Structure 1
Amino acid sequence: MSTDTSTSTLEAITAELKAEIPDELTISKVTYEGPELILYTDTPREFAERDGLIRQLASTVRKRITVRPAPGTQTSPVDAEPRIRDLIPDAAGITNLEFYPETGEVLIEADKPGLVIGSRASTLREITQAVGWTPEVLRTPPMESSTVDNVRNFLKQERGDRRQFLERVGEQIHRESNQDPEWVRVTTLGCCREVGRASFILSTPETRVLIDCGDKPGAEGEVPYLQLPEANPIADLDAVVLTHAHLDHSALLPLLFKYGYDGPVYTTEATRDLMGLLQLDYLDVAAKEGRTPPYESEMVREELKHTIPLDYGNVTDIAPNIKLTLHNAGHILGSAVAHFHVGSGFHNLVFSGDIHYSDTRLFNGASNEFPRAETLVLESTYGRRNDYQTDQADSERKLITLINDTYEDDGTVVIPAFAVGRSQELMLVLEEAMRKGKIPTMPVYLDGMIREATAIHTAYPEFLRDGLRQRILHDGDNPFLGDQFQQVDGGEEMRHAIAAGDPCIILSTSGMVSGGPIMSWLELLGGDPENLLLFVGYQAQGTLGRRIQRGERRIPFSDRRREKELTLQFRVESVSGFSGHADRNGLEDFVRTMDPRPHKILCVHGDESATDQLSSALYQKFNLRTFAPKNTETFRLE
């Protein structure tokens, strides 16, 4: 929008706010930062005393509001720090305090941020009343995480640039528009009749939003159809929304910045950190395998700088006529079901991303209640009529039996596992089984990024299942810190020692046996029939994991010296109940109990038989219009 339009809109909002506040309060400046309205005041202490005033103002202008002190109205940092520490209980465990005079914010990092916030944010108000600074609170990770540290330090360094970026985004979001568009369209750029390269364009006559941008496991070169007219020019996209961090949804998102995109990426805070971890590893693996990475690490940093994290349930303006709300998807840490409200009620779409409908040890099941939902874009990974996973309790019993049998044979259990999600689920199962004596206590070696991904899970316990969150936050019982869990950090030398040692369990990336340290374990342990290779996650078509799972035992193998063929002799088993995806029953239950039930469903993210069979079943059972689209199709929604 033009600067004149932006200025006039802010002037009108400022006048409206000033008319609502008591005479003793002042507003010196109002500006946009992304979806939020930032209100600067010369009377921050008085604002803090008025509990409920900010909610009242936000309701008046229908925008999220943050109040900050105008420059010069705060106590000096030297005097403010001891007063802040006096107001916060010692049990909160403050680890860092940083002041940002340009925005009037004080960053408080603590072991227990709830004690910093106080009941109904009472301590935060007390801090502002005492020193005039606006507190921002972060949790100190209970496990050291280089990813969390690096992301937080990077964003601190880029704080000035991010503020300018957010102001620009705010102007774009709040530009004048027709709130009732003539049409809404969804264009499929990937993951239709296939698993992988998830990507969609949601468009109206004046806005375009990209949802996800992933690669396809086991199929190098098959990328989303970003060259379609609906996706271009990429630089002019209004927003990007990422449902979760798995590479089949996030791997190629940094490529957008290489193509000139300079706008926001909306996702959860946990997904932001995980996507950075997985994308940098994606580049590292490509380089080690002699492939040219599609983008440089600088593009990952640009993506992080442009990410606007959202909490579950917060309704957020992302374009003049589109509001976004993220809901728990139950799939991996921070995964989200994305709800889009277009216009002033013109159409509502839900993108499921990847979902797990029932509760697991790690997460609460996916949310499926929305104010309105006319169209659902639904994953179909396990959409075939016979895709029924084993009950979780039965799966755990089978896992325990297989581990015990292998232990008695003096063998080692090797589990290819995704670093994010399945590994942590298995860690919880193994920790409990050893604690209760269901399996012998033995080392559980974590190879690849599993330990780092686990540390990120503990940094964001608010995304975990209720009981697990209680254990970590309030009971001081973090199951991920068990002595049995040991990081493989000694490279090939340590792997050789483990392979030659006593029986143990090894969790190793990659989960689909498509590279990474799992290849070393195939070479070191695959020739002994007393060992066990145990699959617990989905193996996509075309991956080595799928081929081994289906019986292939002579596999190509390359090391730094030469290409060769490896003959696998260890046992191969699969346990299905640990997948992060809903099975056929779960997908049907998600739709059956969805409130409100959609009028139209697009079945995506499954192979052709899965999408066709799920689409047909949903039509027959619920009398809904259903589709199994192909890539590059466009659907007009009214």
Structure 2
Amino acid sequence: MSSVERQLDDLQAEIEDEVPSDISISDVTYEGPELVVYTRDPKRFASDGDLVRRLASKLRKRITVRPDPDVLSHPREAEDTVRDIIPEEAGVTDLDFHTDTGEIFIEAEKPGMVIGRHGSTLREITQEVGWTPEVVRTPPIESSTVSNVRNFLKQEREERRDILERVGRQIHREEMSDDEWVRITTLGCCREVGRASFIISTPETRILVDCGDKPGAEGEVPYLQVPEALGAGANTIDAVVLTHAHLDHSALIPLLFKYGYDGPIYCTEPTRDLMGLLTLDYLDVAAKEGRTPPYESSQVREAIKHTVPIEYGDVTDIAPDVKLTMHNAGHILGSAVSHFHIGDGLYNVAFSGDIHYDDTRLFNGAVNEFPRVETLVMESTYGGRNDYQTDQADSERRLKKVINEAYERDGKVVIPAFAVGRSQEIMLVLEEAMRSGDIPEMPVHLDGMIWEATAIHTTYPEYLRDDLRDRIFHEDENPFLADQFNHIDGGEEERQEVADGDPCIVLSTSGMVTGGPIMSWLHHFGADPDNRLVFVGYQAQGTLGRRIQNGWDEIPMNDGRRSGNLTLKMDVETVDGFSGHADRQGLENFVKTMNPRPEKVLCVHGDESSVQDFSSALYHEYNMRTFAPKNLETFRFK
């Protein structure tokens, strides 16, 4: 008998001692980080609302209770009862019964009404029908991504259970080493922006944190083939942790499965969906530009199948000696500061990912409160000594001024924007400005993946800023459904109509002008000096966006439909303050207000001067050990 089997037998005995004698426990197993308890008496379990909580506290495990399949009522009978229990105003749109696990997946417009106060309605459902309810939100804006991911996971649930059981056994295996040390190896994004990737190593475990590409630098990928990473084989990696879905952090996650990785990916639920959206688009763009994609769509599906979603604040075992907790990073939907508790109190490391320290219209500011952090791996995108962004209110006034000036000249405004994060931030600014009369009402055309990304945002309002979440819960106040917003879905023909029409605003991908529909808008708008091109996000070195920002006015056009150079005559503006990244002050404040402060800080994800400036400032200001590492450096802690 393996050590995991003995452990499960011991846990089952402990649970049987803890629960009332009239509740039978038929099986106990691991699925990923969760302990799944099967019982022939699910109704009795549900009658005691505190029983699962008491067990979780005593065993220090995340626990899910499921009914034995042979004690379940028939789905047709159960459905009638469930619909009677759930208030009609909850807006149930789908019920899906999984007989192999005894779960009902309930999709509803208002999940809170399905859950009930402190879970009372869920308990009532189990008490009445025995099935275990799981609740998801019906997207207020129809999202093909969310629908496709949910349907795919339903189709693959048997294989996914096998994956989770294997992962669970790996997490809870017996520790093999008495040594104690922690190492971090940098595989990318050091003294550069992009290709974020790191390895955390202990005697027991190796964890890959992020695996992205480098904007504007085709072929520059993380150093995955070194012995510390995949050089010894992809399955020497125990887990992958993804801080957020932007491609400079996520683009090459599916590539791991091409190399033979078969383990879990830990991230938030919206990060999983956005990763699917962005990586599939990444393949599509590569194909359109005549480049050989680094992996296939089947590997994107494998990545989604292997994802283990984590909610903010949940402490989760991901290895025998590592616990992971994710916290809001304030950067994009689902972005996370990832905190690793290693060993039995041995060491604590936090990876900031990308952060925004202050509240924005879209998100609450980044969380920086942890029980302990000895080492912080800190983004430094705007870490330079002069990288202070304009106050958000000033930025909004500046953007509105630019739009009004263009409108008065009968011009149009095009804003290159990342589909995820900045587009939704700008949408909120424009919706309020038109509603309050600060700018004239005019169409706001959304091109590229912006509409789909916005639909995903409305699916997960619990990840948005508190007041915005409350507005979305009331359908008549959802700002993303304002009449001004138009999804461009008619391709070149519709773009030509917009170009021939009245003043308007266009939000278009790609945000760094590295391809995509923005090239078409430059073609349509670029020759008219009455039009405006407005940058509202970071433009990485080597990208066309950075070159235009620096004064280039001869633009190479090669998007499959047209080639040659375009002379750019439209005004070019940069409006700071809308970046999803904290500026220098925000980065300093993130570290300054940590309590206790970390002993060491690795400054990464910034141009060489930015990381060195920021590292030096933290050292002099707070007397902590700081580093501006190069790629392929290894740091030993403990």
TM-score normalised over the length of structure 1: 0.99
Displacement of 1:410: 0.4
Question: Contact conserved, 2:376 with 2:600, CA < 8 A, in 1?
Answer: yes
Q: Percent identity, aligned pairs only?
A: 71
Report Cα offsets for 1:391-419 as digits up to 9, x if no partner: 00000000000000000000000000000
Matched, 1:548 2:543: no
- Residue of structure 2 equivalent to 1:22: 20
Partner residue of 2:38 out of 27, 37, 40:
40
Displacement of 1:500: 1.1
- Aligned partner letter, 1:267: C
Matched, 1:175 2:204: no
Displacement of 1:476: 3.9
- Residue of structure 2 equivalent to 1:230: 228
Report Cα offsets for 1:256-314 as digits up to 9, x if no partner: 00000000000000000001000000000000000000000000000000000000000
Separation (CA, whole Å) in 1 of partners of 2:296 and 2:475: 43
- Residue of structure 1 equivalent to 2:305: 305
Separation (CA, whole Å) in 2 of partners of 1:98 and 1:523: 48
Separation (CA, whole Å) in 2 of partners of 1:449 and 1:189: 29
- Residue of structure 2 equivalent to 1:270: 270
SS of structure 2 residue aligned to 1:153: helix
- Residue of structure 2 equivalent to 1:452: 452
Question: Contact conserved, 2:515 with 2:559, CA < 8 A, in 1?
Answer: no
- Aligned partner letter, 2:354: D
- Residue of structure 1 equivalent to 2:532: 532
- Residue of structure 2 equivalent to 1:63: 61
Distance verdict in 2 for CA 1:102–1:559, change over 3 Å: closer
**1:442-481 paired onto structure 2 within 5 Å:** 442-474=442-474, 476-481=476-481
Separation (CA, whole Å) in 1 of partners of 2:279 and 2:218: 16
- Aligned partner letter, 1:27: I
Separation (CA, whole Å) in 1 of partners of 2:256 and 2:326: 22
Separation (CA, whole Å) in 2 of partners of 1:399 and 1:499: 21
Question: Contact conserved, 2:316 with 2:323, CA < 8 A, in 1?
Answer: yes
- Aligned partner letter, 2:242: L
> Deviation above 3 Å: which 4+ runs of structure 1?
178-181, 559-563
Displacement of 1:474: 4.0
Separation (CA, whole Å) in 1 of partners of 2:26 and 2:413: 65
Separation (CA, whole Å) in 2 of partners of 1:556 and 1:26: 71
Displacement of 1:20: 1.1
SS of structure 2 residue aligned to 1:325: strand
Count of residues paired in the alignment: 636
| Structure 1 residue runs without a partner (length 5+) | none
Separation (CA, whole Å) in 2 of partners of 1:272 and 1:418: 17
- Residue of structure 2 equivalent to 1:219: 217
Question: Contact conserved, 2:177 with 2:204, CA < 8 A, in 1?
Answer: no
Moved more, 496-505 or 176-185: 176-185
Question: Contact conserved, 1:323 with 1:341, CA < 8 A, in 2?
Answer: yes
Moved more, 60-69 or 532-541: 60-69
**1:141-540 paired onto structure 2 within 5 Å:** 141-177=139-175, 181-232=179-230, 233-474=233-474, 476-540=476-540
Displacement of 1:18: 1.0
Distance verdict in 2 for CA 1:561–1:478, change over 3 Å: closer
Separation (CA, whole Å) in 2 of partners of 1:495 and 1:105: 46
Displacement of 1:180: 6.8
Question: Contact conserved, 1:195 with 1:540, CA < 8 A, in 2?
Answer: yes
- Aligned partner letter, 1:26: S
Question: Contact conserved, 1:611 with 1:628, CA < 8 A, in 2?
Answer: yes
Separation (CA, whole Å) in 2 of partners of 1:592 and 1:561: 51
- Residue of structure 2 equivalent to 1:601: 601
SS of structure 1 residue aligned to 2:97: strand
- Residue of structure 2 equivalent to 1:114: 112
Separation (CA, whole Å) in 1 of partners of 2:379 and 2:290: 33
- Residue of structure 1 equivalent to 2:630: 630
- Aligned partner letter, 2:103: E
TM-score normalised over the length of structure 2: 0.99
Displacement of 1:235: 2.0
Displacement of 1:560: 3.2
SS of structure 2 residue aligned to 1:96: strand
- Aligned partner letter, 1:637: F
| Structure 2 residue runs without a partner (length 5+) | none
Separation (CA, whole Å) in 2 of partners of 1:178 and 1:592: 39
Partner residue of 1:6 out of 4, 7, 10:
4
Separation (CA, whole Å) in 2 of partners of 1:586 and 1:415: 25
- Residue of structure 2 equivalent to 1:52: 50
- Aligned partner letter, 2:569: Q
Distance verdict in 2 for CA 1:139–1:59, change over 3 Å: same
Displacement of 1:24: 1.0
Displacement of 1:78: 1.3
- Residue of structure 1 equivalent to 2:586: 586
Displacement of 1:178: 5.9
Separation (CA, whole Å) in 2 of partners of 1:364 and 1:474: 20
Displacement of 1:512: 0.1
- Aligned partner letter, 2:137: R
Question: Contact conserved, 1:179 with 1:320, CA < 8 A, in 2?
Answer: no
Distance verdict in 2 for CA 1:246–1:561, change over 3 Å: closer
Moved more, 374-383 or 492-501: 492-501
Separation (CA, whole Å) in 2 of partners of 1:240 and 1:619: 31
Give the superposed CA RMSD: 1.0
Question: Contact conserved, 2:288 with 2:560, CA < 8 A, in 1?
Answer: no
- Residue of structure 2 equivalent to 1:72: 70
Separation (CA, whole Å) in 2 of partners of 1:465 and 1:152: 25
- Aligned partner letter, 1:313: G
Displacement of 1:477: 1.1
Displacement of 1:440: 0.4
Separation (CA, whole Å) in 2 of partners of 1:134 and 1:475: 29
Separation (CA, whole Å) in 1 of partners of 2:125 and 2:171: 32
Separation (CA, whole Å) in 1 of partners of 2:348 and 2:460: 30
SS of structure 2 residue aligned to 1:620: helix
Displacement of 1:595: 2.2
Question: Contact conserved, 2:349 with 2:375, CA < 8 A, in 1?
Answer: yes
Separation (CA, whole Å) in 2 of partners of 1:562 and 1:444: 26
Separation (CA, whole Å) in 1 of partners of 2:619 and 2:315: 31
